[in-house]
A and B are shown apart, each in its own frame.
Chain A
């Protein structure tokens, strides 16, 4: 397939290939194609005995899925791996997850997703999740790290059956300040559409564009913080979790419950402080299930 790299090459390091082309636009097109990383991961889980087993698995391009052996009675776990080691303009990464009736799964990522500088094109990350009757899914990717002049458009589309449970987090770090990195310019859009039985249960659109580092200073935005996360939970009686989630997030966060869902946001001065708030909150939202090892502090 066009545009798929072998997994040894990281997207940011793909050499620009010079071709003896007379047509500049043709050369430009070839270069763009060579620089693209593309990954597709599709996985579905099925109830098997008293636990959850893998039903189908498909992986293509820079997307790989690893399935650590689960503990008895625990949800199945899948770890998404981007073998391109990061994404840049024009790269695409698509994930589709289905959790069939009665099954229970946790998806996470092996590493923080790094979004590198783009020369113009957007990086696209699209995730589609489907959670069936009496099924449960936790979508717990590690933090996304945005580099200066990155351009990321991300979508999360979720379809829940009437009694499905769903927990999600998306955490973003606008430049690793400890490494002296800041996002002076860039574009970041994150669109969530979560439906229950076809009806929109929650919609969220984050959008940071242009001089991001400057906007982050604003009191309404991040007040000088560079890390933030959104947490979502839909399950029976979310109001019972509200007080403990508020305690876990502390003074830099907020949480609310209405219409059968819990939504929380939190900001922090760096990735470590964000984890210190998000990790205990996830433990609460996950109830008795063990958090993936990568999320432990």
Chain B
């Protein structure tokens, strides 16, 4: 069956969609520098935590709230935990809103998960589908950064995504039932890594 919603999601959350995602490592460049992420196993563990109890989870909750029509742009912006995280979510969000204009028309800039949730609602895309696609793009982008920096082989990168499949699906399912009361993260050292990325001497990524 032809499915225009699926097609749209694939376009919007493809690495080719011009939001500049490739420029951000979400603090992972620092964790690799510190040797905390050093192989496939440590990468899978790091990403699992971001998805289940970290910034990935918060993004999913905010995306879901935005999809339901709640105005959470200000909250999402205030939740960015450091200067580079703030830049990462606001600049990608702005770029997304502009790039999505052919489908949604002119829109108001919002942090990335909020902008994606809003556009998906606008186009009648199901919540669990957009959450799955968003969390996949979030994970896949960090995996690509790690493949480059650890370095890992492309096969390790793909294996990481395979290992994260159940985590992404479960997180998307939980987030689709969430409210803003479910916001909350335990990933304090991931936040600290994002802050410490600012002072890293040699950097490839903007976060």
Report which A residues bind B (CB closer than 8 A): 189, 191, 193-194, 199-208, 215, 218-223, 228, 246, 252-259, 263-267
Contacts and interface: CB of A to CB of B under 8 A. Distances in A.
Given A220-B54, A222-B188, A222-B189, A204 B194 contact: no
A246 B77 CA distance: 24
Contact of A215 (B42, B81, B186): B186
A189 B198 contact: no
SS of B interface (majority): helix
B74 A205 contact: no
Most buried by A among B36, B80, B81, B188: B188
Given A202-B78, A207-B186, A258-B86, 17 more contacts: A200-B74, A206-B186, A208-B186, A215-B186, A219-B42, A219-B45, A219-B49, A220-B189, A222-B189, A246-B199, A254-B82, A254-B191, A254-B195, A256-B82, A259-B86, A263-B82, A264-B195
Interface string B180-201: 0001111111111111101100
B78 A254 contact: no
Contacts of A207: 53, 183-186
The 9 A-B pairs of least Cβ separation, nearest first, read: A207-B184, A254-B195, A258-B83, A256-B82, A254-B192, A200-B78, A220-B49, A203-B78, A205-B184
Contacts of A267: 188-189, 192
Given A205-B58, A257-B83, A200 B186 contact: no
Interface string B137-174: 00000000000000000000000000000000000000
B174 to A, nearest CB: 13
Given A221-B49, A257-B83, A265 B192 contact: yes
B75 A221 contact: no
Interface of B: 31, 36-37, 42, 45-46, 49-50, 53-54, 58, 74-75, 77-84, 86, 183-196, 198-199
Contacts, number: 101
A216 B106 CA distance: 44
Interface centre among A218, A220, A222, A252 (most CB of B within 10 A): A220
14 contacts: A189-B184, A205-B58, A207-B185, A207-B186, A219-B189, A220-B45, A220-B46, A220-B50, A220-B190, A228-B188, A252-B192, A257-B83, A258-B83, A267-B189
B196 to A, nearest CB: 5
Given A200-B75, A205-B79, A265 B190 contact: no
A257 B82 CA distance: 7
Given A258-B86, A265-B191, A265-B192, A219 B79 contact: no
Contacts of A200: 74-75, 77-78
Contacts of B183: 191, 205, 207
A201 B78 contact: yes
Contact of B189 (A194, A223, A263): A223
Contacts of B192: 252-254, 265-267
Given A200-B75, A246-B199, A254-B195, A221 B86 contact: no
A205 B185 contact: yes
Nearest to A202: B78
Contacts of A263: 81-82, 195
A178 to B, nearest CB: 21
B82 A221 contact: no
Nearest to B58: A205
A26 B36 CA distance: 54
A35 to B, nearest CB: 26
A228 B183 CA distance: 19
Contacts of A208: 186
Given A253-B192, A256-B198, A267-B192, A204 B81 contact: yes
A29 B45 CA distance: 44
Contacts of A201: 78
A265 B193 CA distance: 10
Given A199-B74, A223-B189, A256 B46 contact: no
Contacts of A258: 80, 82-83, 86
